[in-house]
Amino acid sequence: MHKDELIHLHSLLVEIKKYFEEQEDVDGEPFDDYEALNTSPVHIHKSKSEHKHAIFVLGEQLANQMSEDEFSEEGRVEARMQELADDNAD
């Protein structure tokens, strides 16, 4: 993917994140790991790899919010997103 495509995907995932943040039944701060990266879609000066890593971290945390248990379809997505985030960490 090109950097501009990654930034667009990053933007879409942030919109989904906002939806979950508006939900009343969200426990704690589910997106702390993503927030700690300090990389958002508006940070166009950040590298392609930083956006890619942020996408995987945010994807893992979104999947975590959707999962009911580790054996659900969403639970498997969460595990895969965590693997991708770990593989792409700088």
From 36, 40, 37, 32, select the one nearest 13 (Cα to Cα).
40
For the chain, domain boundaries = 3-87
Please give the CATH topology (third level) of the domain spanning 3-87: Substrate Binding Domain Of Dnak; Chain:A; Domain 2 (1.20.1270)
Q: Which helix (H) or strand (E) holds 16?
A: helix 3-22
Per the CB < 8 A criterion, the answer to whether 41 and 17 are in contact is no
Q: pLDDT tens-digit profile of 31-83?
A: 999 999 999 999 999 999 999 999 999 999 888 877 644 555 656 777 777 88
Higher pLDDT, 78 or 17: 17
Contact 12, 42 (CB under 8 A): no
- Determine the Cα angle at 85 with ends 79 and 90, to 5°: 155
Q: What pLDDT is stored for residue 36 in this prediction? A: 95
Predicted structure pTM score:
0.72
Residue 89 reports pLDDT greater than 90: no
Which pLDDT score, from 0 to 100, does residue 24 have?
A: 61
